[in-house]
Amino acid sequence: MSTSAKLYEGKAKIVYGTDNEQQYLTYFKDDATAFNAEKKGTIVGKGEINCTISSALLELLATKNIPTHFIEQKSPREMLVKAVKIIPLEVVVRNIAAGSLCRQTGLKEGQKLPFSLVELYLKDDNLGDPLLTSDRLTILNIIPSEQSQILKDYALQINQYLQEFFSLCEIILVDFKLEFGFTQEGEIILADEISPDTCRLWDSQEQDQNKKVLDKDRFRRDLGKIESAYQQVQQRVLTQIEKLKNS
Ligand code: TMP
Ligand code: ASP
């Protein structure tokens, strides 16, 4: 397989075409941004860790009948994926109040939500990825409401599998963001990545509110020890995947 043109460069990944028009190659960078790229930095080794964790989790979800773009991890930083047209929505699932939910509603960080909250945000950096209402979604006409329901249903199923999986890793899945895309056949599949960049992950054995953070909030909030937190997640995820494979 050889790569062709760079199709897209985002804040954390580059997408290349390949000689097979149904497949893309995604390259995971060490670059880190937060607050709509107002804050920029590097997390050394992040590309390899996020590519490896995402590959493992997407493969796991595929075994649970969640269709995903994952084909193969080609190298530590490269993932071969099915070519999709990304739906410009960020699908966020929240189990525990944190981040923008606390900022916007006054809920206290760490409060368990009475149900898993699924929210759709418009994926548009120029607009700062605003939270959508269902009427705004209808007016923007990005996808019909039956399809947005499919995204929400997948998101809740994924939440259930990931919560169970992470709890075996002694990690609490606080919240996370998903992206979906359309294949050339028009099927909706899970795309992008699932990693400490896109999830809030708390060490369930740690009581200290700052020490328990194992995700990109360490970068967003200048908590230090970012690389070791990402390595910790990778090690726990890979160990647990191995255990599941051998059981
Ligand atoms: P938020 O609390 O900042 O809205 O973030 C909710 C979740 O979505 C959190 O796990 C981080 C993730 N996320 C992304 O992956 N990309 C983004 O651009 C944002 C804002 C959040
Ligand atoms: N990825 C987003 C950005 O740079 C936001 C975030 O993850 O906090 O800007």
- CA nearest to 15, candidates 243, 223, 193, 200: 193
Structure tokens at 193: 């990545």
User: What residues line ligand 1, using a CB cutoff of 6 Å?
Assistant: 92, 98-101, 129, 175-177, 198-200
What are the tens digits of pLDDT across the range 102-111?
Answer: 999 999 999 9
Instruction: Indicate which atom in ligand 2 lies nearest the CA of residue 36.
Output: 9
In the predicted structure, residue 33 carries a pLDDT above the cut 90? yes
pTM of the model: 0.97
- What CA–CA distance (Å, rounded) separates 86 from 101? 25
Q: Return the biggest CA–CA distance within the chain.
A: 51
* Distance in Å, CA 198 to ligand 1 centroid: 6
In the predicted structure, residue 1 carries a pLDDT above the cut 70? no
Structure tokens at 246: 């051998």
